[in-house]
Amino acid sequence: MLDLIAALGLALAVEGILFAAFPDGMRRAMYEAAHSPSDQMRIVGIISALIGVGVIWLVRHFS
């Protein structure tokens, strides 16, 4: 459970840094995401989730 909380904190920190460093770029990215078709968003979400699980597995397996 502590790992989940730490991961959420890290995600918030990275997102905050991106918004602080590149506000205009993040605004454009959010606009593009909001106007993308649902099917495309679903595919990107599934691929991102699979990559995330793969990274976690690799870190846990080889550490």
pLDDT digit string (tens) for 11-46? Answer: 999 999 999 999 999 999 999 999 999 999 999 999
Domain assignments of the chain as residue spans, ordered by start:
2-62
**pTM (whole model) above 0.85:** no
Assigned token pair, 21? 């460093």
3-state secondary structure of 3: helix
Q: Which pLDDT score is estimated for 12?
A: 97
Q: Which pLDDT score is estimated for 40?
A: 96
DSSP 23-62: HHHHHHHHHHHHTS-HHHHHHHHHHHHHHHHHHHHHHHHH
The CA distance from 29 to 19, in Å, is 11
